[in-house]
Chain A
Amino acid sequence: MEKHEGIIYLEDGSVFKGKAFGFTGTAVGELVFNTSMTGYQEILTDPSYKGQIINLTYPLIGNYGISDIDNESPKIHAFGLVIKDLCENPSNSNCVKTLDQWLREQKVPGVYDVDSRQITKLVRKHGTVKCLISTEGISIKKAKVLCEAGSLRGDWMKEVATIDKYVIEPDKGFKEKPLNVAVLDFGVKGNILNCLKARNCRLTVYPYGTSAEEILAGRPDGVFLTNGPGDPEEAVEAIEEVRKLIDLKNLPMFGICMGHQVLALAFGGKTYKLKYGHRGANHGVYDKDTKRSYITSQNHGYAVKYESVILRGMEITHLNLNDGTVEGMEHRDLPIFSVQFHPEASAGPNDTAYLFDKFVKMMKEDQDA
Chain B
Amino acid sequence: MPKNKNLNKILIIGSGPIVIGQAAEFDYSGTQACKAIREEGIQTILVNSNPATIMTDKGIADKVYMEPLTEEALDQIISKERPDGILAGFGGQTSLNLAMALDEKGILSKYGVKLLGVNKESIEKAEDREEFKALMQEINEPIPNSIIATNIDECFEFVEKEGYPVIIRPAFTLGGTGGGIASNKEELEELCYKGMENSAIGQILLEKSVAGWKEIEFEVMRDARDNCIIICSMENLDPVGVHTGDSIVVAPTQTLRDKEFQMLRDASVKIIRALEIQGGCNVQFALNPDTGDYIVIEVNPRVSRSSALASKAVGYPIAKLAAKIAIGYNLDELNNYVTQTTSACFEPTIDYVVVKFPKWPFDKFRTASRKLGTQMKATGEVMAIDRNFEGALLKALTSVEIQCDGLCVPFVTKLDDEKVISKLKNCDDERVFCIAEALRRNLLNVEEIHELTKIDLWFLYKIENIVNIERRLREEPLTKELVYEAESKGFTDNEIIEQSGISRSILQDIRVYNDIYPVFKMVDTCGGEFDAVTPYYYSSYDEEDESVPSKEPKILVIGSGPIRIGQGIEFDYCCVQGVWAIKDLGYEAIIMNNNPETVSTDFDTSDKLYFESLHVDNVMDVIKRERPMGVILQFGGQTSLNLAKGLDSRSINILGTSYKNIDLAEDREKFNELLAELGIAQPKGVAVTTKEAAFKAVKEIGYPVVVRPSYVIGGRAMQVVYSDIELERYLKEAVSLSDEHPVLIDQYIQGKEIEVDAIADGKDILIPGIMEHIERAGVHSGDSISVYPNYSLSEELEQTLLDYTRRIARALDTVGLMNVQYAYDGEKIYVIEVNPRASRTVPILSKVTGVPMVKLAVAAMLGIPLKDSKYGTGLYKKSPFFSVKVPVFSSAKLTDMDIALGPEMKSTGEVLGIDKDLDKALYKGFIAAGMNIPTEGNMYVCLRDTDHDDYTAKILSDYVKAGFKIYVSPDTAEFLEKNKIPAAVMDYDMAEEWIMKHSSDSGEKFSIVFNTPAVANRKNTSSFPIRRKATDRGIPVLTCSDTAKAFLMAISHRQAGDRLEYVELNMD
> Which of B252, B289, B347, B353 is the most central at the interface, judged by chain A CB atoms within 10 Å of its CB?
B347
Chain A hits for B252, CB < 8 A? 37-38, 58
Chain A hits for B292, CB < 8 A? 93-94
Binary per-residue interface labels of chain A (319-360) against chain B in the complex, 1 for a CB within 8 Å, 0 otherwise: 001110000000000000000000001111111000000000
Contact check, A350 vs B266: say whether CB atoms are below 8 A apart: yes
Contact check, B528 vs A117: say whether CB atoms are below 8 A apart: yes
Contact check, A124 vs B528: say whether CB atoms are below 8 A apart: yes
B345 at the A interface (CB under 8 A) = yes
A42 to B528, CA, bound (A): 22
A117 to B230, CA, bound (A): 23
Shortest B557–chain A CB gap in Å is: 27
Contact for A58 among B262, B351, B457, B458, CB less than 8 A = B351
Residues of B725-778 whose CB lies within 8 A of A? none
Binary per-residue interface labels of chain A (63-78) against chain B in the complex, 1 for a CB within 8 Å, 0 otherwise: 1100101100000000
Inter-chain residue pair count (beta carbon < 8 A): 171
Contact for A281 among B225, B347, B351, CB less than 8 A = B347
Contact check, A63 vs B227: say whether CB atoms are below 8 A apart: no
A142 at the B interface (CB under 8 A) = no
Chain A hits for B353, CB < 8 A? 59-60
B526 at the A interface (CB under 8 A) = yes
Contact for B349 among A37, A41, A117, A346, CB less than 8 A = A37
Contact check, B345 vs A321: say whether CB atoms are below 8 A apart: yes
- A90 to chain B: closest residue by CB: B458
Residues of A30-53 whose CB lies within 8 A of B? 33, 35-39, 41-42
Do most interface residues of chain A lie in helix, strand or loop, or is the interface mixed? loop
Binds B, one of A242-250, A261-269, A287-295: A287-295
Shortest A59–chain B CB gap in Å is: 5
Nearest 8 interchain pairs by C-beta: A39-B258, A57-B527, A321-B343, A115-B543, A89-B461, A91-B458, A120-B528, A282-B347
- A118 to chain B: closest residue by CB: B544
- A116 to chain B: closest residue by CB: B351
Contact for A118 among B291, B345, B389, B543, CB less than 8 A = B543
User: A-contacting residues of B (Cβ < 8 Å)?
Assistant: 225-227, 229-230, 252-259, 261-262, 265-266, 269, 289-292, 330-332, 341-343, 345-353, 387-389, 456-458, 461, 521, 526-531, 542-544
Contact check, A295 vs B346: say whether CB atoms are below 8 A apart: yes
Residues of A109-145 whose CB lies within 8 A of B? 114-118, 120-121, 124
Chain A hits for B331, CB < 8 A? 284, 293
- B353 to chain A: closest residue by CB: A60
Contact check, A286 vs B348: say whether CB atoms are below 8 A apart: no
Give 8 CB contacts A-B under 8 Å: A38-B257, A64-B255, A284-B332, A291-B225, A321-B342, A322-B341, A345-B262, A349-B230
List 16 extra interface pairs beyond A35-B527, A63-B254, A295-B346, CB under 8 A.
A35-B529, A57-B529, A58-B527, A70-B258, A84-B388, A92-B257, A117-B542, A281-B347, A282-B346, A291-B225, A292-B225, A293-B330, A293-B345, A346-B259, A348-B262, A349-B262
Contact check, A293 vs B332: say whether CB atoms are below 8 A apart: yes
User: B-contacting residues of A (Cβ < 8 Å)?
Assistant: 16, 33, 35-39, 41-42, 57-60, 63-64, 67, 69-70, 84-85, 87-94, 114-118, 120-121, 124, 280-284, 286, 291-295, 321-323, 345-351
Given contacts A36-B349, A347-B258, contact A322 B332 (CB under 8 A): no
Contact check, A120 vs B529: say whether CB atoms are below 8 A apart: yes
Contact check, A346 vs B258: say whether CB atoms are below 8 A apart: yes
A117 to B291, CA, bound (A): 35
Shortest B541–chain A CB gap in Å is: 10
Shortest A102–chain B CB gap in Å is: 14
Shortest A169–chain B CB gap in Å is: 23
Contact for A92 among B255, B348, B527, CB less than 8 A = B255
A115 to B261, CA, bound (A): 26
Chain A hits for B225, CB < 8 A? 291-293
A322 to B542, CA, bound (A): 29
Chain B hits for A38, CB < 8 A? 252-253, 256-258, 261
Shortest A175–chain B CB gap in Å is: 23
A347 to B226, CA, bound (A): 23
A185 to B262, CA, bound (A): 26
A87 to B254, CA, bound (A): 11
Chain B hits for A16, CB < 8 A? 543
Chain A hits for B350, CB < 8 A? 37, 58
Chain B hits for A88, CB < 8 A? 461
Contact check, B346 vs A57: say whether CB atoms are below 8 A apart: no
Contact for A91 among B269, B330, B457, CB less than 8 A = B457
Given contacts A57-B528, A60-B389, contact A282 B262 (CB under 8 A): no
Contact check, B343 vs A284: say whether CB atoms are below 8 A apart: yes
> Which of A41, A59, A280, A281 is the most central at the interface, judged by chain B CB atoms within 10 Å of its CB?
A59
Contact for A117 among B226, B253, B521, CB less than 8 A = B521
Contact check, B345 vs A348: say whether CB atoms are below 8 A apart: no
A42 to B266, CA, bound (A): 18
